[in-house]
Amino acid sequence: MSHASPRPLEIAHTGPLTGHLTVPGDKSISHRALMLSALAIGESRIEGLLEGEDVLATAAAMRAMGADIVRDDDGVWAVHGVGVGGLLQPEQALDMGNSGTSTRLLMGLVASHGITATFTGDASLSARPMARVIDPLSTMGAEITASPGGRLPLMVRGMNPAVPINYTLPVASAQVKSAILLAGLNTPGITRVIEPVATRDHSERMLAGFGAELTVEESAEGRVISLVGEAELKPQHIIVPGDPSSAAFWVVAASIVPGSDVVVANVGLNPTRAGIFTALRLMGADITEENARIVGGEPVADLHVRHAALHAIEVPADLAPSMIDEYPVLFVAAACATGRTVARGAHELRVKESDRITAMATALSAIGVETEEFEDGLAIQGSGGALLPGGGQIASLLDHRIAMSMTVAGLVSTHSVTIDDVSPVATSYPMFFQTLDELREQAL
């Protein structure tokens, strides 16, 4: 993947944000749509695919393993798959860029095919733990040679036939769950994943949609997902809903910038993803759902958001799995609320594209917000609705969500906030700054 040169940004407080916007396709669903389409025999069509760098890394990898993937002029992606078991040996290392989801899910796919693939990535991805997928995939028979600490670059030598496993997730991770299920697709017998805490269920929904035999049961141990291997996937027409993780930036921005009134259309509201909206409502946010509907098997609505006076909360720890990517922007909302918000039980934030607890504590402190860091979360003293001091120098640390969250913080800062590099935003939301300009202009 090409890595953009650093793009600094200076951002200061703004007038109201108004207007109607759409967010790009859901990143998690986009990765899975490409992967499963590439394993179906025949042509699948994907509408609304997120065309961000992370998803393009998945597309490039699936092409390198034999799938035919083209973007039609109308923006619909056509994928001719190779069939489960049909992945080809990639000729070169698979460059995963910044994308943990691509890496972990594709490691699962390779693990049960008789091929070998090397995975490389940028500095952020190369610092992230892969043992969580190496362990179960090794038990299934794959031979994985990783860099020290279980990091990238690493090589996966798949095993065919692989061995089915029953695996209880030691961390709440949809990526680990999905890696095992994807490995299970080409494994004889039943692969079973037990998740004590429910995580995003896009893989389960989409596997069933492609015709895999998959059951989900609730048990005393948690959700039990059983997949019958050696599956035959049938090509599908997939419509990808808008990404709630991308919508969250505008929902928070409209909530904290006085006078704002914004409609974010076509937002995926799968309950395993929508925790941020629950948390913001607990803080007093004014968010109404309009046009609730089902799109591509996922609940979707338009979110109408108006500025509101927010108050501090203790963020319920059981919301963590359904809002794990949204903590950085929630912390920005908390910085503008009345009182001290405390978020605990979110230790996983330390192993995202950056250590998001330290990254956000440092970034908010740099713009004059008082924070207290915990091993598993953050406390933030809110401004009571007043502008934040601002003026700081922020390091985005190759983390798109730090860059976008601190841009939102800049919108309510007295002195302009400087972010060293907003180019990582292209991994998940290439049009983010264009949309911001539009929301600001409409209010002029």
Between 135 and 348, CB nearer to ligand S3P:
348
C-alpha angle 343/346/351, rounded to 5°?
135
Work out whether 323 is an interface residue with ligand S3P (CB under 6 A).
no
Give the integer Cα–Cα distance in Å for 326 and 338.
Answer: 20
Between 203 and 413, CB nearer to ligand S3P:
203
Work out whether 102 is an interface residue with ligand S3P (CB under 6 A).
no
Q: Is 363 helix (H, G, I), strand (E, B) or coil?
A: helix
Give the integer Cα–Cα distance in Å for 381 and 336.
Answer: 8
| Number of residues located near ligand S3P, criterion CB under 6 A | 10
Between 124 and 178, CB nearer to ligand S3P:
178
Work out whether 205 is an interface residue with ligand S3P (CB under 6 A).
no
Residue 26 C-beta: closest distance to ligand S3P, Å: 9
Give the integer Cα–Cα distance in Å for 226 and 217.
Answer: 8
Give the integer Cα–Cα distance in Å for 338 and 310.
Answer: 6
In whole angstroms, how far apart are CA 326 and each of 249, 279, 356?
8, 10, 10
Candidates 325, 399, 420, 437; catalytic one = 325
Q: Give the one residue of 192, 200, 356, 400 binding ligand S3P; rule: CB under 6 A.
A: 200
345 Ramachandran zone, left/alpha/beta (phi>0; psi -120 to 50): left
Work out whether 107 is an interface residue with ligand S3P (CB under 6 A).
no
Give the integer Cα–Cα distance in Å for 283 and 337.
Answer: 8
Using the CB atoms, write b or e for 388-421: b if 16+ within 10 Å: bebebebbbbbbbbbbbbbbbbbbbbebebbbeb
Work out whether 101 is an interface residue with ligand S3P (CB under 6 A).
yes
Give the integer Cα–Cα distance in Å for 12 and 350.
Answer: 28
Work out whether 103 is an interface residue with ligand S3P (CB under 6 A).
no
Residue 38 C-beta: closest distance to ligand S3P, Å: 16
> Could you tell me which stretch among 11-19, 109-117, 169-177, 375-383 binds ligand S3P (CB under 6 A)?
169-177
Q: Phi/psi of residue 300, each to 5°? A: -140, 150
Structure tokens at 93: 């290392």
Residue 178 C-beta: closest distance to ligand S3P, Å: 6
* Residues 2-41, mask of contacts with ligand S3P (x by CB under 6 A): --------------------------x-------------
Eight-class DSSP state of 48? S
Work out whether 195 is an interface residue with ligand S3P (CB under 6 A).
no
Q: Phi/psi of residue 402, each to 5°? A: -70, -45
Q: Give the one residue of 58, 98, 175, 407 binding ligand S3P; rule: CB under 6 A.
A: 175
**Residue 421 near residue 8 (C-beta atoms within 8 A):** yes
Work out whether 109 is an interface residue with ligand S3P (CB under 6 A).
no
Helix intervals (H) in 81-141: 100-111, 131-139
Task: Tell me whether residue 261 is one of the annotated catalytic residues.
Answer: no
Give the integer Cα–Cα distance in Å for 306 and 294.
Answer: 24
Work out whether 435 is an interface residue with ligand S3P (CB under 6 A).
no
* Residues 281-320, mask of contacts with ligand S3P (x by CB under 6 A): ----------------------------------------
Residue 250 C-beta: closest distance to ligand S3P, Å: 18
Q: Give the one residue of 82, 174, 319, 439 binding ligand S3P; rule: CB under 6 A.
A: 174
Work out whether 246 is an interface residue with ligand S3P (CB under 6 A).
no
**In terms of Cα–Cα distance, which of 241, 211, 240, 244 is closest to 228?**
211
Give the integer Cα–Cα distance in Å for 373 and 11.
Answer: 25
Give the integer Cα–Cα distance in Å for 197 and 119.
Answer: 29
Work out whether 405 is an interface residue with ligand S3P (CB under 6 A).
no
Work out whether 413 is an interface residue with ligand S3P (CB under 6 A).
no
* Residues 337-376, mask of contacts with ligand S3P (x by CB under 6 A): -----------x----------------------------
> Could you tell me which stretch among 173-181, 229-237, 295-303, 406-414 binds ligand S3P (CB under 6 A)?
173-181
What residues act catalytically? 325
- Binding residues (CB under 6 A) for ligand S3P: these are 28, 101, 173-175, 178, 200, 324-325, 348
